[in-house]
Structure 1
Amino acid sequence: MSEGRVYFALDGDDFDPDEVTKFLGLQPTSICRKGSKISGKTPRSNSWQLSTENIVENYIDVFELSSKIIARLKPKKALILQAKEQFNISPRFEVVLSFSMDEEQPTPAIGFDVETVQFLGDIGAFIDIDTYML
């Protein structure tokens, strides 16, 4: 079995995630506040996050998960660009995967369609892919 999720984050030092929620008119999946304790960790910055659910399956398709997030964000593109300037935040697109190195198990399909790459480029987001072995 593999686990995976994809999320979009807006990160910064001095912004209120609740204000970004109001500005975008989009409810985040989660927020992190600089200095708060989360699962024993202390975030170094504030973060507003929109995530897929964590998928646990034999096969994880990053193409599909990414498309789901982008479909929700595309109508907010102009607002995201305005929010970057107004709140001094940086967009990040994160892929988190945990999978087995067992040759009998399929590995995740990691890639992005043209629409996803275009959108992320247009808003100046960087892509981070974290992989973990089960």
Structure 2
Amino acid sequence: MDKTTIMVEFAVMGDEFPPDEVTKALSIKPTSSWLKGEKIADKNITRKETSWAISTGYEESLDMNEQLQKIIVLFENKKADLRRVSKLYELDCKFFVVIKIVENYCPGIYIDCALVDFLREIKAEIDMDLYVT
């Protein structure tokens, strides 16, 4: 039986910047990165921006904050480094939350004060997508 799953990805994105420099600045290895202009595999289009990202991958869950915390804990002591590299390369920070709802098992979807503070401190946005099957 399929279960509801949640994936959270945190990305820093910009026009052109060296993703390796973000890795060095944060001492965190990304789960994915690409350069503006790279061809997207199996498609006839190219990347419109450069990106460095870390993701939880899809996990069975009924509370999106479990996955958010797995990412946030990695950056808790690196907020100043993240702000510095973001300013240096004019990067945008964004959380992507993707929820795949199965059999109407909808997870808790809320943003607590600690998350709001964290998003504000690193000047990040949050984007949520829900898919119901």
Q: Please give the TM-score of this superposition, normalised by the length of structure 2.
A: 0.87
**Which runs of 5 or more structure 1 residues have no equivalent in the other structure?**
none
1:49 aligns with 2:75: no
Q: Is the contact between residue 93 and residue 122 of structure 2 (CA under 8 Å) also seen in structure 1?
A: yes
Query: Which whole-Å CA distance do the structure 2 matches of 1:127 and 1:54 have between them?
Result: 17
Secondary structure at the counterpart of residue 30 of structure 2: coil
Moved over 6 A (4+): none
**Which runs of 5 or more structure 2 residues have no equivalent in the other structure?**
none
Structure 2 counterparts to residues 65-76 of structure 1, below 5 A: 65-76=67-78
Secondary structure at the counterpart of residue 48 of structure 1: strand
Query: Which whole-Å CA distance do the structure 1 matches of 2:36 and 2:132 have between them?
Result: 29
One of 5, 8, 16 as aligned partner of 1:6: 8
Q: How far 1:39 moved relative to its partner?
A: 5.1
Q: Is the contact between residue 94 and residue 127 of structure 1 (CA under 8 Å) also seen in structure 2?
A: yes
RMSD, aligned α-carbons: 1.6
Q: How far 1:15 moved relative to its partner?
A: 0.4
Query: Residue 111 of structure 1 aligns with which residue?
Result: 110
- Percent identity reads 36
Q: Please give the TM-score of this superposition, normalised by the length of structure 1.
A: 0.86
1:78 aligns with 2:77: no
Q: Is the contact between residue 28 and residue 48 of structure 1 (CA under 8 Å) also seen in structure 2?
A: yes
Structure 2 counterparts to residues 25-44 of structure 1, below 5 A: 25-36=27-38, 37-38=40-41, 40=43, 42-44=46-48
